[in-house]
Amino acid sequence: MKKITISQIKAAKGNRKLVMITAYDALFAKLFDEQVDMILVGDSLNMIFAGRPDTLSATMDQMIYHTQAVCAGAKKSFIVFDMPYGSYIDKSTALQNAIRVYKETQADAVKLEGGKEKAPVISHLVQNGIAVMGHIGLMPQHVRAEGGYKVKADEQKLVEDAKALEAAGVFAIVLEGVKADIAGTITQAVSVPVIGIGAGKDVDGQVLVWSDMLGFFEDFTPKFVRRYLDGAKLVKEAVENYAKDVQNGDFPSQKESY
């Protein structure tokens, strides 16, 4: 099982759809590894693992810890480290933190949010040997500034942002929360793969948060999520059965005892 390379990701544009999913630990990364092209160690872990209301308080230490775990579990997938809020505020800060990612984990690339205003930072990283995935459209790290999670429909701005990121050297772009027809236009406007989340089907690939698509996160379900498993229900039923077996003395049985 050969490791997926950045060249293969870029070459998928116009040839095949790319599959990306989030993971935060070795166990799930290993389960996903054979089925996907890329695993994103997303700052969404701040909500899923830490129970926070948004992604903003995620730290570099936290993200590096989880990325180390994911890299231990996934041997084939291309691993992307999600740069947390405040970790790429300027060129020097971004490079210092990205170098730390490369030194302390086996991540293949970093992802950061922002359009053309972040192009100089991205260019600086790329020039120093860091592979960068862009992220435009709805940007979760801007949730407080924008007063919530809002679908984007400014086609001209989004196309300009995508082209600026391409010129800065990104190998791919995540496009989140964008009207489907506009997402298709953006995808056609750049030569790098565009990975959609809530951006329709006319993109080069899709990414979903694993706990959303497997039904483990119950607080809310975004419109763009398709649930492939009722995970929370299945786990609750299993634990309920375990508890009953313990309480009534059925577990452990003689077969399960030394």
Active site residues: 176
* CA 156/CA 150 separation, integer angstroms: 17
* CA 12/CA 56 separation, integer angstroms: 32
* CA 81/CA 256 separation, integer angstroms: 42
Range 97-101 contact pairs with CB under 8 angstroms and sequence separation of 24 or more: 97/60, 98/125, 98/128, 98/130, 99/128, 99/130, 100/60, 100/64, 101/64, 101/67
Sign, Cα dihedral of 151, 155, 160, 162:
positive
Query: What contacts 207, CB < 8 A, 6 or more positions away?
Result: 20, 21, 22, 38, 40, 174, 195, 196, 197
